[in-house]
Amino acid sequence: MNSRPARNELLKWERNDKGEAQITVTRQDTWKVKLLSKLFYVPKDRTITLDEVGSEVWQMCNGNTSVAQMIDSLRDKYKLDRKEAEVSLLSYLKTLGQKRFVGFLLEGEKQPPKDGGARARESASGKRWES
Amino acid sequence: MAARGSAGRVDFGWQGVSLRVPADWSLGKVDGNYKSGYARLDDSEIVRAEVEWREAPPSSARRLPIPDLVDRYLEKLNKKAEKTGTEFSVQRRSKFLKDKRWLEGSDYETFTWEADFRAYNLARACGTCGRIILIRVLEPKHDSDPALAEEVFRSLNDHGTDGRIFWCIYGMSFWTPEELTLSTHGLKSGNIQLTFEMKGHICKVQRLSMAQVLLKETSLKEWYPSFFKKELRDFDYTLREESVKDHNGLRMEGRPRSRWRQLLRPLPFVNPRPRQYADSYIWHCEESNKICVVDHHYRKKGERGDLSHALTNAYACHQKKIEADSRGHDELATGQERTAEVGEER
């Protein structure tokens, strides 16, 4: 609850005209992808558009806002019960973490750590975060 | 941490058991039915309260006295602690309750046990309905306050009042007639759904959160048929806009589709759906940012009655919270609603 989600700095993202966050994920250049791209068309990157609530959470993943603060913010804005906000947010952050879109800064950490630990530090394109 | 003091309390009601607890305690697990069951309330860190209930055996000869039930319960806990190597201590007939007058007339025992947490327990056979309840409030050892446990225990009500049962989870509260029994429930985040049954009648009470997002680019009248497309496919229905509980709402009346149409379905004789009529109220509560739905499905045309209307009236969607206060339950009995502050628990 005290950890602070931070966006993967290697990901490009922008807001579209509806205010939704659009994340651009670059294709991984592994040997499997290279082989497949010779046989099929594999785009160099793909765009993921987050919905209104997802975009708001994404915006809050700035490394300064804790999970508990995010819960409070969502509760206030959408008039949610604590449990509702908590379950939805944690599940969403888990998905973002698994996809390596965000990492989680622990208490005292000011920037993404340089080595080891959380898999979330690896970028979606397979590179590590620059810190 | 649990909120101290009298401020910030919310109701919890399930299968006839109701409590008033700190606002940050919410349902974490629920199991069983009216006859026997279990509910657990958590805060953001730990389990805070557990309630177990069971219907009293019909014959008084078969009824175990409360101390014997407590013996059994503690024996099980002891065994568990031995297995895990946890330090476990018990204090029977513990005197942490300052006022016991409200327990007069019922068979009860108070006790505390201590392992990773300190648990204040009350085992009680209700003097009115005979239902046996074991309730415990858990507190961290270093910050344990029996006053909170006492407050929660005093708010305990273990049976329906005036033939009605009080339900309250995650701020969604309503009353049902005692004849309606809970058949299924879905407690998804943002979509709570409780289905009740009674001889040929099915009632569903549903609440959807984040209405402002759901209705962002559409109206309630357009949203409802698209969201409930699957549920509505067997009905020929009419939808009309009307004010429900002073909110922008809809009234849906449905009758079964023609038999010919059902025969035209692929594999019409496999899993035939029952032919039912429907009567529903749907409304958008702006104050709580929720969409509330009360459905009543019934088999025969003349059996509609006013069940859906009664359920809708007994549903507290925003500030009109139904008071489930300690023991007296005069307001529960009369179904009076109090106009407290909007979202008192927040």
Q: What is the pLDDT of residues B57-73, one digit of tens each?
A: 766 555 668 888 888 89
Distance from CA of A96 to the nearest CA of B (A): 18
Residue of A nearest to B169 (CA): A81
Q: Are residues B215 and B116 in the same domain?
A: no
pLDDT at A112: 57
Q: Are residues B187 and B323 in the same domain?
A: yes
Hey, is the C-beta of A90 within 8 angstroms of any chain B C-beta? no
Hey, is the C-beta of A19 within 8 angstroms of any chain B C-beta? no
How many A×B Cβ pairs under 8 Å? 44
In order, the DSSP letters of B286-308 are: TTTTEEEEEEEEESSGGG-TTHH
Instruction: Give the Cα separation of B8 and A125 in Å (integer).
Output: 47
Question: If you average pLDDT over residues B124-136, what whole number do you get?
Answer: 87
Domain-embedded: residue B25: yes
Domain, as residue range, for B291: 179-339
pLDDT at B337: 36
- Strand-pairing partners, residue B208, are B191, B291
Q: Are residues B147 and B214 in the same domain?
A: no
The residue among B154, B188, B212 that closes a domain is: B154
Q: Are residues B328 and B185 in the same domain?
A: yes
> Shortest CA distance to B66 belongs to which of B138, B133, B137?
B133
B216, A86: Cβ pair inside 8 Å?
Answer: no
Q: Please, are residues A7 and A100 in contact by the beta-carbon 8 Å criterion?
A: no
The residue among B120, B154, B188 that closes a domain is: B154
Domain-embedded: residue B346: no
The residue among B92, B121, B154 that closes a domain is: B154
Q: Are residues B223 and B149 in the same domain?
A: no
Hey, is the C-beta of A86 within 8 angstroms of any chain B C-beta? yes
- Phi and psi at B312, nearest 5°, equal -65, -40
Residue of B nearest to A85 (CA): B189
Q: Please, are residues B32 and B17 in contact by the beta-carbon 8 Å criterion?
A: no
Residue of A nearest to B342 (CA): A79
Q: What is the mean pLDDT of chain B?
A: 84
Q: Are residues B319 and B224 in the same domain?
A: yes
Residue of A nearest to B288 (CA): A79
Q: Of B89-93, B194-198, B207-211, B252-256, which gets the smallest average pLDDT?
A: B89-93
Domain-embedded: residue B115: yes
Task: Tell if the pTM clears 0.90, that is, is over it.
Answer: no
Burial class (CB in 10 A: 0-12, 13-18, 19+), B182: middle
The number of folded domains in chain B is 2
CATH number of the CATH domain containing B297 = 3.40.1000
Domain-embedded: residue B170: no
- Which ipTM value was assigned to this complex? 0.74
Sign of CA dihedral B137, B141, B142, B146: positive
Q: Are residues B194 and B280 in the same domain?
A: yes
Question: If you average pLDDT over residues B231-237, what whole number do you get?
Answer: 89
Domain-embedded: residue B3: no
Instruction: Give the Cα separation of A7 and A60 in Å (integer).
Output: 9
Q: What is the pLDDT of residues B258-293, one digit of tens each?
A: 877 777 777 767 766 778 899 999 999 999 999 999
Instruction: Give the Cα separation of B89 and B74 in Å (integer).
Output: 10
Q: Are residues B150 and B192 in the same domain?
A: no
Q: Are residues B227 and B108 in the same domain?
A: no
pLDDT at B104: 81
Q: Please, are residues A126 and A29 in contact by the beta-carbon 8 Å criterion?
A: yes
Residue of A nearest to B214 (CA): A52
Domain-embedded: residue B73: yes
Contacts of A76 in chain B (CB under 8 A): 346
Q: Are residues B115 and B254 in the same domain?
A: no
Domain-embedded: residue B1: no
What six digits make up the tokens of A10? Answer: 């290697």
Q: How confident is the model at residue A127 (pLDDT cuts 50, 70, 90)?
A: very low
List the 289-328 stretch of B: residues with Cβ below 8 A of A: 289-290
pLDDT at B17: 93
Q: Does residue B2 surpass a pLDDT of 60?
A: no
Q: Which residue segments constitute the domains of chain A, with CATH numbers given?
A: 4-117 (1.10.10.1150)
Domain-embedded: residue B161: no
Strands B191-198 and B172-177: unpaired
Q: Are residues B127 and B197 in the same domain?
A: no
Q: Are residues B208 and B142 in the same domain?
A: no
List the 205-264 stretch of B: residues with Cβ below 8 A of A: 209-210, 212-213, 216
B189, A84: Cβ pair inside 8 Å?
Answer: yes
Distance from CA of A127 to the nearest CA of B (A): 35
CB nearest B210 (choices: A68, A78, A82) = A78
Question: If you average pLDDT over residues B143-153, what whole number do you get?
Answer: 88
